[in-house]
Amino acid sequence: MSRPRVFITQPVAARAIERLRRVADVDGNRDPLRILEPAQLAEAVRTRDILFCLVQDTVDARVIAANPALRMIATMTITPQQIDVAAATARRIPVSTIPPMVTEATADLAMALLLAVARRVCEADRLVRDGVFPGAQSRRLEGHAVAGATLGLLGCGRVGQAVARRARGFGMRLLYTDPRRLDSSVEAALGLGWFSLHELLAEADVVSVHVPLAPATRHLIGAAELARMKPTAYLINTSRGPVVDEAALVAALREGRIAGAALDVFEHEPRVAPALLALPNVVLTPHIGSAEVELRARMADVVVDNILAVIDGRRPPNCANPEIYG
């Protein structure tokens, strides 16, 4: 019997690839800066049995239909929003994911972005590289204090609570809003106070977004919400890009209605709005919430575990469409 053929859409941890190569023929896109278009993915799966894809890959019905013998779609994401799961299910193709395992890394990045934008770290770095060194007490790069500031958490699940734990080390006042209020013991342990969204936006010096993307959260932060924020406040988004109306955000930043923003995710990712790129009071990172060597290796190993299960004729441990095994 021939070995299964696996296509990987971008480089992943070498350890995971070696595990796959023991039982399968493995190849893929070796350029970490190149995101394959759906047409290119369709061409790739045409002659492969299993697709190993990442969060930026759009696996639509056209990709799934490209190979009638496609056996599996294994994604290195927690929620397969970029995959047409219904089309895969109709073909009885298992779609596997990874469990929620990026909490601590994402919370670390949220704090890094908060500090970077509030203390104007990226602006300062650019000036020094351009040969400009303002006086050590020059007002040119004055930002706003983080220690003792009020942090509003928009969503307080795993990541929101992890950010709260970190923010306590900065002596921050912690507010949160969530449709499901936390148990009072959790609120007390983390020093959290529950507020309505409108109250939180008006009170917070920093608003950090930690809600999942769903119809109810698309453009949850729009022009009206930004208008409620303080002119000295910052918006941080490490959740999903479409939660924030980017056009409204650009207008608020240009007009000085908020002080700045730091974004790891974008509304039309991987495309970043040119207007955002032109603003000096925005820190931008390319969806790197999970970009830790150790974590990414564990994530890739989970994907391999899922693939090996399917190769062995078993249901993958992390299956997004278990009904195909019913």
Question: Does 5-101+292-325 match 103-284 in CATH topology?
Answer: yes
Q: Which residue intervals of the chain are DSSP H helices?
A: 14-21, 38-45, 61-65, 85-90, 103-118, 121-129, 158-168, 184-190, 197-203, 223-228, 246-254, 274-277, 293-311
pLDDT at residue 64 greater than cutoff 70: yes
Q: How far apart are CA 216 and CA 41, in angstroms?
A: 31
Residue type, 120: R
- What would the two tokens of residue 61 be? 């019905």
- Residue-wise pLDDT for 123-158, tens only, equals 999 999 999 999 889 999 999 999 999 999 999 999
pLDDT at res. 286: 96
Q: What is the mean pLDDT of the chain?
A: 97
CATH 3.40.50.720 fits 5-101+292-325, yes or no: yes
pLDDT at res. 34: 96
- Residue-wise pLDDT for 156-176, tens only, equals 999 999 999 999 999 999 999
- Global confidence as pTM: 0.94
pLDDT at residue 204 greater than cutoff 90: yes
pLDDT interval class at 326 (50, 70, 90): confident
Percent of residues, the chain, with pLDDT higher than 70? 100
pLDDT at res. 1: 62
pLDDT at res. 290: 97
- Give me the residue spans of the domains in the chain: 5-101+292-325, 103-284
Phi and psi for 193 in degrees, rounded to 5?
Answer: -120, 135
Higher pLDDT, 2 or 283: 283
pLDDT at residue 281 greater than cutoff 90: yes
Q: Average the pLDDT over 39-46 and give the result.
A: 97
- Residue-wise pLDDT for 84-103, tens only, equals 999 999 999 999 999 999 99
CATH architecture of the domain with residue range 103-284: 3-Layer(aba) Sandwich (3.40)
Q: Which residues are catalytic?
A: 240, 269, 287
CB 265 within 8 A of CB 259: no
pLDDT at residue 25 greater than cutoff 90: yes
| Residues contacting 7, CB < 8 A, separation 6+ | 27, 28, 44, 45, 48, 50, 51, 52
